Structures are given as C-alpha cells and as structure tokens.
Amino acid sequence: MKIRFRILLLLFSYFFTTGASTIGQTQHHFNYRQTLRIDFVLSGDHEQQQSAIAVYKKSPGYSAGQNQNTPSFDYGTYRLVLLNPQTDDTLFLKGFCTLFEEWRTTEQAGKVSRAFEQTVEAPWPISKVRILIEFRKKDGQFVTLINELFSPKETVPVTQIIPDENQAEIIHGINNPDEQADLLILAEGYTKDEKESFLHDAKNITDYLFSIAPYTNLKDKITVRALHTISAEAGTDDPVRNIRRETAMNSSFNTFGSDRYLESFSTWTIYDYAAGVPHDHIIVLVNTSKYGGGGVYNHFSIVSARHPSSPEVFVHETGHGLAGLGDEYYYNDSPIPDFFDKESEPWAPNLTTLVNFDIKWKHLVPDTVPIPTPPTPKYKNVTGVFEGAGYSAKGIYRPALNCRMKSNEAEGFCEVCRQSIKRIINFYAQ
Ligand SMILES: [Zn+2]
C-alpha cells in the first residue's frame, strides 16, 4: 500500500509542477545523504530588494527523500527552485518566508536599507543544477532574484559543516528521517549546566503539541529531537528592560519594536547548530519566562520556554513555521494595513480575500452557512468565512470564529488549519 501511495503522490507532483520531468528522474539528480545549504542575503528597503549568495555549504544527512522534491502545495513569499540546466525541468522546489519581508513593512524600511541572513536547504545535487531564488509579488507572480549555475564539483567556495559536537536526543518518535516529519528543538540561552532544564522544557511543549488535534493523530509520523546547544549566559536579550545576554543564537525580544516579538537574526548560526541533525523544521526554545515568540515558514520557529502560555504560543508559531498558516487575528486600526493585497488571493491556506475562494476551503463550508459568515454564536463551531484576519479587520477572511492561529484562548485549530497541518506532516512523512 505504501508503494502505491507514493506513486500516486509522485503522479500528483508531476502534474502540479510546471515543466516537471518524467517521474523518477529527480531521484538520480540528488544524493539524499548530504545537504546543499545555500546561505544568502536579502537586502533593500520598502521599495526594492536584492539578493546575493554568500556561501554554499555541504553538511551530512538530509531530512527528506525524493518524495519531498516537488510539493503539491505552493506556500511562501519566496522559493528556491533547482532546475535541470539542460532541460529546464524542475528538480526541486521549496517555498519559504523571511524576516526581511516583515521588516520591509516597518517604518524604518521607508528610510534605510538593511540586509538579512537567509538559509535554504536542498538535497545535494550530483550534477550541475540551475539555482533560482524567486520572490512572489502580491499579485502572485514570481520575480527572479538569483539565477546561477551550481556545480557540485566546480562551484567554490563550498564549506564542509562540522555538526555540533553535542548529541541530539530523540524525545519523541523514531530515528527514520526519510519517512518521519522531523522537528528539531535547539536550546537558546541555556548554559552548559542547564541541560536537564532544557530537556524538561522541550518535553513540556512537545507533550502539549501531541495533546491537540491534528497532532494527536499524527504522533506516529513525527519525530522530535532536542539538542542542548550551549550559551555562555542564561536568558535572552530584553531591550525594553535593558537586559543583554551572551547567547548562542543572539535572540532578542522587541523585534521590529514589538516587545513580545522574540526573534533571532542569526539565521546562519542557527542552521550551523542544526547541521547533521534531521530537521524538517527547526524550533528555537529560549530560556525565559517572558511571553513571546515568532514563526516564519520554512525558516524557523522560536518561542519562550516557560511563560504559562508557552505551549500555546509554540503551537501557534509552528503553525506559521512548519505549516505556512497565516495569522487569523486582526487589528481594527492595523499597523500594517497593506501586508496582504486584497485584490488577489493570499497563498496562506487559512486566509482568503474571496478573490478566488474556490481554491481555498469553500468545499468545507456547509450550504446552510452564509458567505461571509456573521460572527454570531450560531456559527461558533462551524467552518465558515469570517471577516477579519491577516492583521486587517476588512477584506480578509478566516475559516472560524476562533482558532489557535487567532488566539491562545481558542480550544485548538480550526478545521482548515487542522487539514493544512495534516497535509504538511503527511508530506514530510510519506
Ligand atoms: Zn485556523
């Protein structure tokens, strides 16, 4: 059954991906025992952006196999595409989001230019590939930022990454990276004496993850590892309280001027720590009891370890980071009113502008539920189309009155988010 299932999925990938080559060809282009890591820079301001490769790196192991080369979903503001240079066939595609795109919406980006570290990973190519880094404009069209040939034998410099000497521990699941969805929790702001404390905190959020749907029913497909990366000092930076800490990944609160927005801009360092440890998604667990976190699709998620709401925040942020879900909350007076273009359909699976609702969750809305759906108790437990989402009170719609992607008080994920998460986990675990 498993083999037949894989063939069906490959067929689906084949038909979905524009210009995809014949089935089976992609497996001969990659060595799945090694990772091609692309460290690059995104720079610019509100109006314009550039990108340039900083360095190509090679690290041992790769968390996925040939079935994960061309996903059937199309998420992310950016994407990496690897092409066969002879035929232009798509060999590999991975969408992702960036902190840079968020920064571009800030007031500062109207005045100055900045550069951000980015990393995206792929299986190691056996022969030459054309590398494209593309940006998705608000109308959904892609523009190419990087287009260059990569030769595994000739392109320099390629640095061999030495994996972190500390051993990752499996705290849930089995060691089978090809067929499991692999989550990796890295310690941030934990000293060398705080390993037990880190493992306790990592298990705490993992236990919560598996207590809610759809993760409860997917626990056999997920492996969670915890790696005690060591910081010189405990804690994290808290600029509002004038606290600075020497930590492994330079995390900090007050990202983009939002006190509770906990992030790290040291992307390359984070991926250095993760090198050689299976990771379909990285979670940075920060040794603090202050509320906060962040999650960026196929980049990493980050969360404070010991606030009473940390488990809920963790699950919300991995909704972004792992599953590409959008925020279902909104502001009546949005600080970022133009984050989404209301004239086109956003790529996030749980948000719609109703421009092309047929490709979203229309099939899940019962005939008896009006579109848009009134935000009244009558529709509390149904899948509908509720106005107010994606930071905007008007013009963007969410699937449910409440959801983990809207608030920590929600009972769990809405039906659309549950299905989206299930799809991602099944993709990594196929
Ligand atoms: Zn939802």
HSE, side-chain direction, 13 A CA sphere, residue 422: 13
In which band, very low, low, confident or very high, does the pLDDT at 341 lie, cut at 50, 70 and 90? confident
pLDDT at 26: 52
- pLDDT (average), residues 271-276: 93
pLDDT at 158: 74
- pLDDT (average), residues 120-138: 96
- pLDDT (average), residues 188-203: 97
Q: pLDDT tens for residues 16-53?
A: 333 333 334 455 899 999 999 999 999 999 999 999 99
pLDDT at 415 > cutoff 90: yes
- Ligand 1 centre to CA of 6 (Å) is 28
pLDDT at 15: 28
Lowest mean pLDDT across 30-34, 94-98, 397-401: 30-34
pLDDT at 250 > cutoff 80: yes
CB-neighbour burial class of residue 197 (10 A; exposed 0-12, middle 13-18, buried 19+): middle
- pLDDT (average), residues 135-164: 86
- Ligand 1 centre to CA of 401 (Å) is 9
- Ligand 1 centre to CA of 114 (Å) is 33
The answer to whether 260 and 292 have CB atoms below 8 angstroms apart is yes
In which band, very low, low, confident or very high, does the pLDDT at 297 lie, cut at 50, 70 and 90? very high
Percent residues over pLDDT 70 in the chain: 91
- Ligand 1 centre to CA of 407 (Å) is 10
- Ligand 1 centre to CA of 316 (Å) is 10
pLDDT at 161: 72
- Ligand 1 centre to CA of 270 (Å) is 29
The answer to whether 38 and 120 have CB atoms below 8 angstroms apart is yes
In which band, very low, low, confident or very high, does the pLDDT at 6 lie, cut at 50, 70 and 90? very low
- pLDDT (average), residues 176-200: 96
pLDDT at 224 > cutoff 80: yes
- Give the chain's mean pLDDT: 91
Pairing of strands 129-136, 78-83: antiparallel
pLDDT at 11: 31
Q: pLDDT tens for residues 103-116?
A: 999 999 999 999 99
- Ligand 1 centre to CA of 18 (Å) is 29
- Ligand 1 centre to CA of 227 (Å) is 30
- Ligand 1 centre to CA of 415 (Å) is 7
Q: pLDDT tens for residues 56-83?
A: 999 889 988 888 999 999 999 999 999 9
The answer to whether 50 and 324 have CB atoms below 8 angstroms apart is no
- Ligand 1 centre to CA of 99 (Å) is 22
CB-neighbour burial class of residue 344 (10 A; exposed 0-12, middle 13-18, buried 19+): middle
- Ligand 1 centre to CA of 199 (Å) is 29
Q: Which residue has the higher pLDDT, 119 or 13?
A: 119
Domains of the chain: 22-160 (2.60.40.3250), 169-326+423-429 (3.40.390.10), 329-337+365-402 (no CATH)
Say how far residue 33 (Cα) sits from the centre of its chain.
22
pLDDT at 27: 56
- Ligand 1 centre to CA of 206 (Å) is 20
- Both tokens of 415, joined, read 């039906």
- Ligand 1 centre to CA of 396 (Å) is 13
The answer to whether 125 and 80 have CB atoms below 8 angstroms apart is no
pLDDT at 138: 87
In which band, very low, low, confident or very high, does the pLDDT at 333 lie, cut at 50, 70 and 90? confident
pLDDT at 298 > cutoff 60: yes
In which band, very low, low, confident or very high, does the pLDDT at 13 lie, cut at 50, 70 and 90? very low
pLDDT at 185 > cutoff 50: yes
How far apart (Å, rounded) are the C-alpha atoms in residues 142 and 135?
5
How far apart (Å, rounded) are the C-alpha atoms in residues 402 and 322?
20
pLDDT at 3 > cutoff 90: no
- pLDDT (average), residues 233-245: 97
- pLDDT (average), residues 270-290: 96
- Ligand 1 centre to CA of 383 (Å) is 10
The answer to whether 183 and 202 have CB atoms below 8 angstroms apart is no
- Both tokens of 394, joined, read 């008007």
pLDDT at 254: 97
The answer to whether 256 and 215 have CB atoms below 8 angstroms apart is no
- pLDDT (average), residues 158-166: 71
- pLDDT (average), residues 193-214: 98
- pLDDT (average), residues 394-403: 96
